Amino acid sequence: MTATLHVIFGPSGAGKTTYANAFARRERAVVFILDEWMARLFGPDIPNPIEFEWMMERVQRCEAQIWSVAAGVLATGTSVIMDIGLMRRADRARVKEIAEGAELPLQFHYVDAPVETRRARVAERNTVRGENFAIEVTPEMFEFVEGIFELPSPAELDGAIVSISE
């Protein structure tokens, strides 16, 4: 059995983490969720207001560690599911290059929902703080991430599994 690298991407509040966790249970794969790593490793230290440079440095450190651990999991023949942001096309292209360089089967999963649905989900997640809560996403953070996210091109979606909810 060949292990597959499954990469989940989409805008904030689209349901990526819910999708990733459900997929991991179904497929018996190991899931890596960047927000969980960030919350556990750096949550108590997050400056208020959040400083972009501070956050990005830690995101890069977490991603490097996730890739390191994921490589070991994949080497055992176990599939991996990554929910690590990938807001920009260049980020997704970088993941594709890494997978191709390591000769790993790669499956992208694009998860989306209408912006008002996503905004409401984030607000509810901030209040309920349930299973998928890692860090509070303020309305300002949501809008910031909205400005960063680049919709996938048709070529990116070719062969991807697409899940769009209402």
- Render 1-67 in DSSP notation, one character per residue: ----EEEEE-STTSSHHHHHHHHHHHHT-EEEEHHHHHHHHHGGG--SSPPHHHHHHHHHHHHHHHH
Mean pLDDT on 115-140? 75
8 A C-beta contact, residue 29 and residue 132? no
Question: How distant is the alpha carbon of residue 6 from its chain centre?
Answer: 11
The partner residues of 83 in beta bridges, in order of sequence, read 8, 33
Can you tell me the distance from the alpha carbon of 38 to that of 40, in angstroms, rounded to the nearest whole number?
6
- Binned at pLDDT 50, 70 and 90, residue 133 comes out as low
By CB neighbour count within 10 A (0-12 exposed, 13-18 middle, 19+ buried), where does 45 fall?
exposed
> What's the pLDDT at 130?
65
The CATH architecture annotation of domain 5-164 reads 3-Layer(aba) Sandwich (3.40)
> What's the pLDDT at 29?
97
- Tens digit of pLDDT for each residue in 14-69? 989 999 999 999 999 999 999 889 888 988 887 777 777 888 898 899 999 999 99
Question: How distant is the alpha carbon of residue 138 from its chain centre?
Answer: 18
Domain boundaries, the chain: 5-164
Instruction: Return phi, psi of residue 24, to 5°.
Output: -60, -40
